[in-house]
Every structure is written in C-alpha cells, then in structure tokens.
Structure 1
Amino acid sequence: MVAPLSSWPWENLGSLKYLLYGPLVAKALHSWAYEDGQRYSWCLHILIICALRGLIYQLWHSYSSMLFLTRNRMVNKQGVGYKQIDEEWDWDNFLILHAFMAAMACYAFQFLGTLQIWNWGGCVYALLLHIGVSEPLYYWVHRRLHVGSLFTDYHSLHHSSVVTQPYTAGNATLLEQLILGVIMGIPILGPCLIGAGSVCLIYGYVLIFDFLRGMGHSNVEVIPNSLFEFFPFLRLLLHTPTYHSLHHMETSTNFCLFMPLFDKLGNTLNNRSWELHKKTSSAQNSQVPGFVFLAHAVDMLSSLHAPFVLRSFSSMPYKDRLFLLPMWPGAFLVMLVMWASSKTFLMYSYWLRGRLQQTWIVPRHGFQYFLPFATDGINYHIEQAILRADRLGVKVISLAALNKNESLNGGGTLFVKKHPNLNVRVVHGNTLTAAVILNEIDKDVKEVFLTGATSKLGRAIALYLCQKRIRVMMLTLSSERFQAIQREAPVEYQQYLVHLTKCQAAQNCKTWIVGKWLSPREQRWAPPGTHFHQFVVPPIFPFRRDCTYGKLAAMRLPDDVEGFGSCEYTLGRGVIHACHAGGLVHFIEGWTHHEVGALEVDQIDVAWEAALKHGLKPV
C-alpha cells in the first residue's frame, strides 16, 4: 500500500498537469479585464514567480551540463543516465503545489493587494525568521526523514538520484514538498502579517531560496575556496555543491538547508567537507578520457538537442517540434558566439568498463560543410581538436560524418599526414559503418542499387558485395572513378559491378543503399516495397509511404555503460552512430593504427566481430 502523501494526485495527467494553472490564469485575466487588475493581482504574481522559479532551475541545469566550462569542477564525475532522468521527469511538480499553497494563503489573508513595493524592515524580519525558524526547522525535519519508515516511504525517492542535479532538488514526495512550502512560507508570511511585507521581499526570498537550492544540487563547485580562506566564518553560513553532495554520498551527515552552522551545532557536519571543497574548487579535478567522438550539429534546430538545453528533450530521439521554433533565434545567436569563440566544446561523458569516454563538438552546423569558403576554417577546428586530444593523452579520437568528408580532408588523411607524430589515433569509423550496413542487408538479396558509390563507404560496400556475388548497380557520373573501383575487385567478381548514371535504371531493384542525397523525385523510381539503407548525412526525406527507410548506421552500447543520458540525433536511447562505435571498438581493442582515408575491405568483418565481442549490438 502506498504511504499517505507519498504520491502526487496529478501524476497520471502527464503534460496535462500544467492545465492546473488554469484557474490562476483565468482569475488574473478576469481581474485585468473587469477589475482594473487590482483585486486578484496576486494570481499574476504567483504565475510570474512560478515561471521564474522554473527558469532558475533550468539555468542551473544548463550551466552545470556545459561540461566544456564545468568538467574540472564537477563533484561527482559520473554522468546522468536515462534512469535518473526518467525518475526526475516530473521534477517541477512542486511548483504547482507551491502555487496552490500561495494562492490559498493570499486568498485567506488578502494581503498582497496592499503590499508595498519595498520595505527594509520586512527584509530584516524575513532574515531573522529564516535563521531562527526555517533553518532549524528544516534541519530537524530532515533528520527525522532519514529514520526508519519515513526514509523508506518518503525521502528515499530524493536519494535515488545517483548524481545530484538542479532538477534533483524538486524530485521529492508530496509530503516533503508540503513541508518545504511551509518552511519557505514562514519568512514571507511573518513580515506580511505584521505589516512589513513587500512585493520585492516575496520575489527576492523565493528566488534566492531556489537559486541556493539549485546551486547546492548542481554537482559543480562554483564557490572558490579562497573566499573561505579570507572569511572562514562563511563556511558555516553558506553551503556549497560539494557540501551538499556529501549528504547524498554519506546520508548521516550534512543535513542543513543552507547554513552548515546547524550541522556543526547538531554534530552532523562531515569532516571531509572543507577538504573535498578545496580539492574540487581548485579546478584540477579533471580526468583524461580514453576515447573522444568529435561530433557536429546537423542543423539549427537539432543543435537544441544538446544535453545542456532541455534535458528531457535530449534524452529522447530528436524530432522537429513546434516548441523549438521560438528558440531558433537564440540558437542562431549561440551559433555566432560559437563561431567567434572558435572552441571545441565537450558535450557529454559516459563510462564504459571504468574508462571515461567523451563527445566533443566542433562549432559548425551541417550547412557550413557545403560552403567552399568554409573548408579551411572547419579543418582548422578539427585539427585543433585532434591536437588538444593529443596533448591531453587521449588514445583515440573518432570523426563524425561530415568531419571526415572526403572533399574536406580526405577522411582524416590530411591531419595524419600533417602531424605524423601524433600519439592519438585518428579514426573515421567507416569500417564498422560499412559492416553495420552490410549486415542489415537480407541474406537472399541478389542485387542492390548504390548511390554515393565512389565515396569511401560506397567503394568498400561495392567491393565487399561483389565478392559475395551480389550485383551492385553503382550510380556515378564519373566512368573513370567507377572503372578505378572495378579494377580493385578480383577479376572473377568485376562482372558484378555495374555502372549507372540515372536512378531510372534501378526501378526494379528493391534494395537501395543511399550514400548521396536523393530527392523525392529520384525516390519515385524505386519500386513499391523498397527499403532504403542510408549512410548519407542528413538522412533523406521519407517521401514514399509504400517503402521503408532505415536510419543511419548505428549500434547499441554494451549493457555496462554508465552515465549515458543523451540520444545521438534521431537514434534511440543507448544507441550511437556506427562511426562513433567504430572509434570505441578501436580504443577497446587497443589497435595502434590510424583509420583514415580509404577503407580496407578485408577489415570489415574484423571490425564487426570485434564490436560484437565487446558487447555492442546491431539495432
């Protein structure tokens, strides 16, 4: 049986729960239209405060997830996985609850309509009530919640989050948030009842309260140790992310709300608090990843799929959503900032068998890769990322689709030739990509139609299939490039490679392998029932309803991966692009060669078997 007040009454409503704000919205609109906006102006204030509170936690999340800024000051190095994200999905339930509580208080006391804008005396009263009532009350209640059934039935939910995040602050039961609402309300209601309240006091106290809560759960140390060295007494007046994280690691210590003074008085202060804070805030807490995947944005809206934008959105496969459109101008401005800063950004980290793996991103969007004048600039950023990985001691760096474009840098050959003494291995991952595509093809297929046939991948796929006695219709306008590939095949298999210059010639073939963009008009030539395998970026538009479309070549990560909570573009949870997986296999296997330029056809099966051996699975 569920414990009383342990679940939320609207937990089955999903996103419809936001309709619960409806009465406040209706009351505020009615007051504005018919009552000069005075009588029920508190409804509007409550709505604004709720929006600002949500924004504070979102901004803390964005900052703490910007690993390119915060990775050296992270308290807990483990990433946030899908399980924690799902458990914290409804982290903002407390905002709805506190809106109800505030509305009832305002309706009962009818004081907000007569509040001053500012009152110094009220701020002093609020500070005294916070220190004298709210802090000790929270400390006492918090300690009680760690005992017996109170912890099991109520507080264990909050501690189920392995890595503290700003959203973790809201991940609690109904009873806990009711208590927190009362604790917050005391320093606000007290001054208001004695006539010293003000609008600025209410806004200021609530937002500062949430700011400190978000900071404490952010998992990134933001308070420098030098501040505590100059003013030692501040250690007992202000908690830090490190201080609060110790409570989640050792649950019998550090119970305070914001002031460690009460842990000191209650003899529950963790002895490692200041030592760990000094170590974390020194920004020397970084770890070198063994493997790096160098990614890029595909388009402007898909760049909003980054983990530091909307965590819930990035934890699901990317789709175009209407709510993204208002964010487009902001994404455009960020893109300009990224261009100006000319830095490589760290997007996310995860752990595989105790080793750190990371994904970096170059500050370029997909359309730029097709601008001739942008080639040098893009190669410069890729080169700098490789050199940085080399300086750090990274073992393998894998290039995402457009970062290894043949016309851009010869599949990474440019960098290996320019820097022959690199210790980091540069990998395009196309060997495993080819293996994934080839293993998706039905065993009874006798012929395929291949676009992008003279690319690195197209060439390898064609040579591999022809040796399996599968007829490969290669679409290319260049007869010289086709003939060069045909000559690479053993003489007895060359007959299986066929040169085509138009899609019409493949109108009877039901297996299309797409390595070059196909327009809807070109797709019309495929017969009904055709399946489109793809290695083109971005993927082709799924125009035909009587055909099926494969996603980009990908593999599922091993089961022992930890801290992976972001989907790669349109791929599902725990699935990564094949070129990403190819670099990972290169690292795990300890291969010491660069994988750049043309693919070695005889290594396709080797890469496939190695991937399966290490727990990667076909999708």
Structure 2
Amino acid sequence: MGNTKIQLLIWERESINGLIEKAILDADGRGVRVLSLGLLNQAKQLNGGGELFTKKYPKLRVRLVDGSGLATAVVLKSIPLDTKQVFLCGSSSKVAHATATALCERGVQVIMNQKKEYDMLKLRVPESSTGYLKFSSDEIPRIWIGDIIDDKQQRRAPSGTIFIPTSQFPLKKTRKDCTYLGSPAMKIPETMQNVHTCENWLPRRVMSAWRIAAIIHAQEGWNMHECGDDMMDIEKVWSAAIRHGFIPLSKA
C-alpha cells in the first residue's frame, strides 16, 4: 500500500505541493503556530520531508512538524528492553534511519542485508557506534523493523519474529507464527473530547505519533521546524507526550 501511494504522489508532485504550499501560507497568514505535515504529504520524494517549503519561505512564522521524533521514540519504546540484535529491512525513511542510529548508540546491533542502504546509513551513524551496524546476509534476528516488509521478506523471518513498522501504515500480515505491531501511535488523553478515530487501521481514541507530535509541539511552544533532516530530540518529545497524558499502547 505504502509504495503505491508514494508513487502516485510523485506523479502528481507539482499539483500536490501547490496545495500543501497554499495551506501552509494560509495557516501562516491566520497566525497558526504549528502545522502538522500529514502522513503522505511529508514524503521525502515529494518535497524533501517538508524542507521544500521552509527553504522557499525562510520567514515562516508557523512551525512545520513532520512528527518524526515522536514516531522514532514510539518505535524504540516498542522494542523489547533485552534486545541485542535487530534486523533493519531495506528502509531509507527518516524514522527508520533515526531508529537504527539510536539503537547503535545504545549498543544494540543493527543488521542489514542491502548494501546500498547499509552504506547510506553508515554515513549517518556516529563513528563511535558504527561497530554496531553490520552488513550480513546470514544473520536474521527475531526483531524486525522497517518501512515496508513485503511477503517475500517476511517468509525469510524465523518463527516467533516480531515485526515493528517504522512507517505510517501497518504491515500486511502474512505469518501466523509471528507478531505484528501496529504503526507508531499512542492513546490520546481522556481529557481530549470529540476525537474518536484518527486512521481507519487504528483503534478508537488512538492517534498516529506523527499527528500527536504537532499537538505536543504547540503545547510546549517549541520554536523549531521539524522537517527535512531536522528532528526533535527523541527523549524530549517522548517525555513531553507522556507529561501531556498520551499513553503508550503497551500500557493502554
């Protein structure tokens, strides 16, 4: 589902970006403080994760938020604490790379089997942690993370594997002997009213981390854009989300 939707966005890049730009300028003119970049209109292939607009309009007062910091935090919190190895399955998104980098910095080995993606990620991981990033076609841990993990890839996973998506959309479930976690999301506070369904693949009163991040950004009064390569501090945004009453799904 994700690949097809992204391809459609690329085909209509100019017209879609025109609509997004109009919405941003309208929000800026109305004095809106924070604008959330939606699940698909922040695609890197579409507008550089929103960076197209901050570069074109450097004096924007409205802050653009893609929510990648909180999404990364939710993924990291979903990985069992005793995990020593994870398999990163052919992913190049901002959240996937940030998750892998954070794991390496924590001493968790991240294994990849696609050389191009491995070489790209190795340039991003701090030199002191690159020893935890490994290219291998033989080692396959039971914790898998990734944007899109297709049927063929899933069949290679050992029985008992936990699949953890780093994308906005859930993975297609093809294995009955494995566990599939949902896309990064949290339960909203009880104090939030008239919010029932955020995405049709999420339970009621559960919201995508990407959307929650913009709410937190506004509540905290943060002044930075979170788009392009810029990302909020993972622990800072996670702590703020918890403080404002958002609940991890593991505790909901």
State whether TM-score is above 0.5.
yes
Q: CA deviation at 1:477?
A: 4.3
Q: 1:497 aligns with which of 106, 129, 133?
A: 133
SS in 2 for 1:532: strand
Aligned residue number for residue 509 of structure 1 = 141
Aligned residue number for residue 605 of structure 1 = 235
Change (3 A) 1:431 1:548: same
Pairing of 1:132-281 with structure 2 (within 5 A):
none
| Residue 192 of structure 2 is aligned to residue 555 of structure 1 | no
Pairing of 1:417-436 with structure 2 (within 5 A):
417-436=55-74
Deviation readout 1:85-132 (Å, 9 max, x if unpaired): xxxxxxxxxxxxxxxxxxxxxxxxxxxxxxxxxxxxxxxxxxxxxxxx
User: Is the Cα contact below 8 Å between 1:433 and 1:578 reproduced in 2?
Assistant: yes
How many angstroms apart in 2 are the aligned matches of 1:608 and 1:380?
A: 32
How many angstroms apart in 1 are the aligned matches of 2:230 and 2:240?
A: 16
| Residue 176 of structure 2 is aligned to residue 545 of structure 1 | yes
Q: 2:118 aligns with which of 449, 469, 482?
A: 482
Computing the radius of gyration from Cα coordinates, the structure with the larger value is 1
SS in 1 for 2:111: strand
For the aligned residue pairs, the C-alpha RMSD in angstroms reads 2.1
| Residue 226 of structure 2 is aligned to residue 589 of structure 1 | no
The structure showing larger relative contact order (alpha-carbon pairs under 8 Å, at least 6 residues apart) is: 2
Change (3 A) 1:385 1:476: farther
Q: CA deviation at 1:367?
A: 4.3
Q: CA deviation at 1:526?
A: 0.5
Structure 1 counterpart of 2:22, which letter?
Q
Q: TM-score, normalised by structure 1?
A: 0.38
How many angstroms apart in 1 are the aligned matches of 2:29 and 2:124?
A: 38
Aligned residue number for residue 306 of structure 1 = none
Aligned residue number for residue 456 of structure 1 = 94
SS in 1 for 2:182: strand
In the alignment, structure 2 segments of 5+ residues that lack a partner are none
Q: CA deviation at 1:400?
A: 2.2
Deviation readout 1:164-221 (Å, 9 max, x if unpaired): xxxxxxxxxxxxxxxxxxxxxxxxxxxxxxxxxxxxxxxxxxxxxxxxxxxxxxxxxx
How many angstroms apart in 2 are the aligned matches of 1:573 and 1:457?
A: 24
SS in 2 for 1:552: coil
Q: Whose helix fraction is larger, Structure 1's or Structure 2's?
A: 1
Aligned residue number for residue 521 of structure 1 = 152
Pairing of 1:5-404 with structure 2 (within 5 A):
367-371=4-8, 372-404=10-42
How many angstroms apart in 2 are the aligned matches of 1:437 and 1:425?
A: 24
How many angstroms apart in 1 are the aligned matches of 2:38 and 2:115?
A: 27
Aligned residue number for residue 616 of structure 1 = 246
Q: CA deviation at 1:537?
A: 4.5
User: Is the Cα contact below 8 Å between 2:42 and 2:66 reproduced in 1?
Assistant: yes
| Residue 46 of structure 2 is aligned to residue 408 of structure 1 | yes
User: Is the Cα contact below 8 Å between 1:395 and 1:424 reproduced in 2?
Assistant: yes
In the alignment, structure 1 segments of 5+ residues that lack a partner are 1-297, 300-365
SS in 2 for 1:561: coil
Change (3 A) 1:407 1:539: same
Q: How many residues align?
A: 248
How many angstroms apart in 2 are the aligned matches of 1:374 and 1:445?
A: 41
Q: CA deviation at 1:570?
A: 1.1
| Residue 107 of structure 2 is aligned to residue 469 of structure 1 | yes
SS in 2 for 1:402: coil
Q: CA deviation at 1:549?
A: 0.6
- Stretch deviating more after TM superposition (446-455 or 413-422): 446-455
Q: TM-score, normalised by structure 2?
A: 0.91
Deviation readout 1:35-70 (Å, 9 max, x if unpaired): xxxxxxxxxxxxxxxxxxxxxxxxxxxxxxxxxxxx
How many angstroms apart in 1 are the aligned matches of 2:5 and 2:160?
A: 35
Structure 1 counterpart of 2:236, which letter?
V
Structure 2 counterpart of 1:483, which letter?
D
Change (3 A) 1:474 1:400: farther
User: Is the Cα contact below 8 Å between 2:167 and 2:184 reproduced in 1?
Assistant: no
How many angstroms apart in 2 are the aligned matches of 1:576 and 1:473?
A: 30
Deviation readout 1:514-560 (Å, 9 max, x if unpaired): 21x22212111100000100123542210000001111100111121
Deviation readout 1:302-343 (Å, 9 max, x if unpaired): xxxxxxxxxxxxxxxxxxxxxxxxxxxxxxxxxxxxxxxxxx
Structure 1 counterpart of 2:161, which letter?
T
Structure 1 counterpart of 2:138, which letter?
A
Deviation readout 1:349-404 (Å, 9 max, x if unpaired): xxxxxxxxxxxxxxxxx845313431111211111111121122211111122211
How many angstroms apart in 2 are the aligned matches of 1:429 and 1:452?
A: 21
How many angstroms apart in 1 are the aligned matches of 2:98 and 2:113?
A: 14
| Runs of 4+ with >4 A deviation | none
Deviation readout 1:438-469 (Å, 9 max, x if unpaired): 00111100000112443211211111000110
How many angstroms apart in 2 are the aligned matches of 1:438 and 1:541?
A: 21
Q: CA deviation at 1:490?
A: 3.2
Q: CA deviation at 1:599?
A: 4.6
